[in-house]
Structure 1
């Protein structure tokens, strides 16, 4: 029997998996090309009062589990004292056997706080005190947590209407050697169905860009101007959160008509929403191809399903689920349209529904072209699929239908500065799976070749793919 999260054997399954992980993956740096951590907190080198603040604040993964265990909302998003919230989390965690959050939580406790035990109601005070002692040290500031995690570069998630103030400051700070660059997420510019919010957003974008935005062409020009600023700060990627990838073309005149209606406060029809979003995505894709940026498309999520709680707490609070609507014909048609418009940019496709993996892998195979290896990518197992099972399924389907060796690997997609052990988790799963294929006789026991693949997926492929000026390992 293997001890709980034993460093030598955890998730590695076999001898070859252990050799691949410890010999090739373990020491590789991290390029976190998609996350939601705050550039302001990085600039200010923020500190945390206690483990509840750094661990439970904003973590809807944990919130969902606490609700499922009957914990009152006061101890989740309410005004209960931090120590009491942490106790409720300790009571919850013991019921979560088989859930990846159980494993991530204990990896974080081990890697950052040196706690080798199990968080239970009985050990909660010990963990609280140990973490509190460590967090009181300057070595546990945001910047030092990033450094000790061997991170080389972070792409945050930023709107074109953001000021980029914090990125500018970080970029000129010689005391911090980890690069922090923006990644563009123009979701607010796409959400024309939210008429009141959309009008306010257009006004804010116009103000930041320093130009009037009175037409769809003006909107595109303003976004492009803000992209110029992001590029000067090192941006190499965008990200879009879509319900599904749509393709509903319309004439330029009709798109302009839809835009004007929205500015006047008139709610567009469902068809008009799709037409507008299709037109804007086509423009944005041309921008990405022109700049050499990667376009990331996240889809397959039904958001804010509990309207009562949404009205109380807002978005991203634990009330989203997997969608089973991801029309392959529209995905393929949009990619084809963009390719004909002037060239499909490097594109990473993520669906929250694991059943979509084979669709993604086969659709993207229709649009691969040089000189970029893996120009289209099936993104790392995302959100509800961030588990050993989900990762193995994504890796296996990609290997079966495409080229695993060009995969750009893991990202945190997190708001927490303690989430970097997810890269360790992913690398262990990857090495264990490759080792299993060797044991089954599916792949030769060529450690050097497999090790090279592991190192590339862990870090080097992302460096090449996004074009960052970083040394490969």
Structure 2
């Protein structure tokens, strides 16, 4: 007898209070996904996927890591194997992902998008592959249809300052009802230690029309791109760094460091930290001037496997949690902005769970009463966006801040099938609160607690980003 599907109405909801919170206050809230890496060209062009492998496996390094661990050859992951063979290799892996969030996500996505209850495995892979591929021919499974069926009100992709934003412009002039915005991600201009830094600055010259030979030129070029992004509706920035920098510097020193780099002279670790501090403070002051929201994703140790990075490039599944010191420079950086009254609305994300309480208390240092939840402790990110990671982040925020002002979940995903992660988060949140209502730790007042749930799932983020 086949196992009974566990993706049912009460999935993750373990008592009547959890069910009431979810069904009455969370389930039907629209999704505002304020940080992801979806390709805007595929949204603007309303891409049609030929196979589920193209839609579901391509680009998903969560799945890739699991397949490699299970012993699947790279040919069936990022290699040249036929799409059906790649799907079969993933289906073969799925039964062995028990207790990994991929097992929950896989079944949740198959259910929500394709109404498939069966557990995916090697035995039913061919049938699932054929069934889904047939559905992908229907417009409701093109990219825009996939977003609409998940009730996505707004999503925000992530673009480099050199981007033309042509696809966002196309979407802005279209009849597509989901709002698609962009976030300004200038990391390549900041990471002066990169071997390809000068090549990138040359690209920035072309995009900005500014000849960049001095640090001031660099600031002028970035200002021009900031203005261009702002004119095209951007109100969010994002940075993915090991840690926020902070080193004392003079203008003369920063000019000298940039000049050295442009001439191909090595830059020291201290000079690198000085440069990053100067440029980041400049950018963040500009964000505040424009009333943007700034996001800092901190703590990833990237590209650990040099051999595979050379073969496949970045963002292919060779990153992990780093153990960088965070508190001192994070505090000094935020304080330098706050001292000038130039601290924009800020969301901090940590990748190392050991930093949960550090980040949860740090945001409280800079919530000055000027705005509700001005500085946010962001949701569980990357390796921490699973059930345990969500609960630990919520608990840290609850214990040391105000959960009621939290702006909630985001996907941080490259997959058009990742939006049920908002449902996953909402179920986990409602169950956590429902258990405490049942035990008497919270009032057994569904309207009171439910109002907070609705705030976290939708109203807070809508207000925070002024949508």
TM-score (structure 2 length as normaliser): 0.98
Asked if the contact 1:326/1:356 (under 8 Å) is kept, the reply is no
Alignment of 1:357-436 (within 5 A): 357-436=356-435
Q: CA deviation at 1:194?
A: 1.2
Alignment of 1:305-316 (within 5 A): 305-316=304-315
Asked if the contact 1:242/1:297 (under 8 Å) is kept, the reply is yes
Q: 1:250 is matched with which residue?
A: 249
* 1:284 counterpart = 2:283: yes
Point out the more displaced range, 15-24 or 209-218.
209-218
Asked if the contact 1:245/1:326 (under 8 Å) is kept, the reply is no
Question: Which secondary structure does the structure 2 equivalent of 1:94 belong to?
Answer: helix
Query: CA separation in 1, counterparts of 2:370 and 2:340?
Result: 19
Q: Over aligned residue pairs, what C-alpha RMSD do you find?
A: 1.2
Q: 1:234 is matched with which residue?
A: 233
Q: 1:181 is matched with which residue?
A: 181
Q: CA deviation at 1:225?
A: 1.5
Q: 2:133 is matched with which residue?
A: 132
Query: CA separation in 1, counterparts of 2:375 and 2:6?
Result: 34
Closer/same/farther in 2, CA of residues 21 and 376 from structure 1, 3 Å limit: same
* 1:193 counterpart = 2:193: yes
Q: 2:43 is matched with which residue?
A: 42
Q: 2:348 is matched with which residue?
A: 349
Q: 1:170 is matched with which residue?
A: 171
Query: CA separation in 2, counterparts of 1:327 and 1:32?
Result: 27
Alignment of 1:317-356 (within 5 A): 317-356=316-355
* 1:94 counterpart = 2:128: no
Query: CA separation in 2, counterparts of 1:313 and 1:136?
Result: 31
Q: 2:63 is matched with which residue?
A: 62
Q: CA deviation at 1:449?
A: 1.3
Question: Which secondary structure does the structure 1 equivalent of 2:365 belong to?
Answer: coil
Query: CA separation in 1, counterparts of 2:351 and 2:427?
Result: 22
* 1:144 counterpart = 2:121: no
Query: CA separation in 1, counterparts of 2:171 and 2:354?
Result: 40
* 1:295 counterpart = 2:287: no
Asked if the contact 1:61/1:318 (under 8 Å) is kept, the reply is yes
Point out the more displaced range, 263-272 or 36-45.
263-272
Asked if the contact 2:156/2:180 (under 8 Å) is kept, the reply is yes
Q: CA deviation at 1:164?
A: 0.9
Question: Which secondary structure does the structure 2 equivalent of 1:438 belong to?
Answer: helix
Query: CA separation in 2, counterparts of 1:14 and 1:234?
Result: 43
Point out the more displaced range, 264-273 or 301-310.
264-273
Point out the more displaced range, 50-59 or 4-13.
4-13
Asked if the contact 1:236/1:292 (under 8 Å) is kept, the reply is yes
Query: CA separation in 1, counterparts of 2:413 and 2:269?
Result: 32
* 1:83 counterpart = 2:81: no
Query: CA separation in 2, counterparts of 1:33 and 1:465?
Result: 11
Q: CA deviation at 1:145?
A: 0.6
Q: CA deviation at 1:445?
A: 1.1
Q: 1:267 is matched with which residue?
A: 266
Asked if the contact 1:364/1:376 (under 8 Å) is kept, the reply is yes
Q: CA deviation at 1:109?
A: 0.4
* 1:16 counterpart = 2:17: yes
Q: Deviations over 1:285-311 (max 9, x none)?
A: 101111111110011110000000000
Asked if the contact 1:392/1:430 (under 8 Å) is kept, the reply is yes
Q: How many residue pairs are counted as aligned between the two chains? A: 465
Asked if the contact 1:300/1:322 (under 8 Å) is kept, the reply is yes
Query: CA separation in 2, counterparts of 1:462 and 1:267?
Result: 43
Query: CA separation in 1, counterparts of 2:4 and 2:215?
Result: 60
Query: CA separation in 2, counterparts of 1:143 and 1:131?
Result: 17
Query: CA separation in 1, counterparts of 2:7 and 2:160?
Result: 41
Query: CA separation in 2, counterparts of 1:447 and 1:234?
Result: 38
Question: Which secondary structure does the structure 2 equivalent of 1:363 belong to?
Answer: helix
Q: CA deviation at 1:413?
A: 0.4
Asked if the contact 2:5/2:119 (under 8 Å) is kept, the reply is no
Asked if the contact 2:43/2:144 (under 8 Å) is kept, the reply is yes
Q: CA deviation at 1:442?
A: 1.5
Asked if the contact 1:236/1:467 (under 8 Å) is kept, the reply is no
TM-score (structure 1 length as normaliser): 0.96
Q: CA deviation at 1:3?
A: 5.3
Q: 1:160 is matched with which residue?
A: 161
Q: CA deviation at 1:7?
A: 2.8
Q: Deviations over 1:201-246 (max 9, x none)?
A: 1121122112222211221121121111211222111110101122
Q: Deviations over 1:153-182 (max 9, x none)?
A: 111101111111111111111x21111111
Q: Deviations over 1:118-175 (max 9, x none)?
A: 00111111211111111111221101111111011111101111111111111111x2
* 1:213 counterpart = 2:209: no
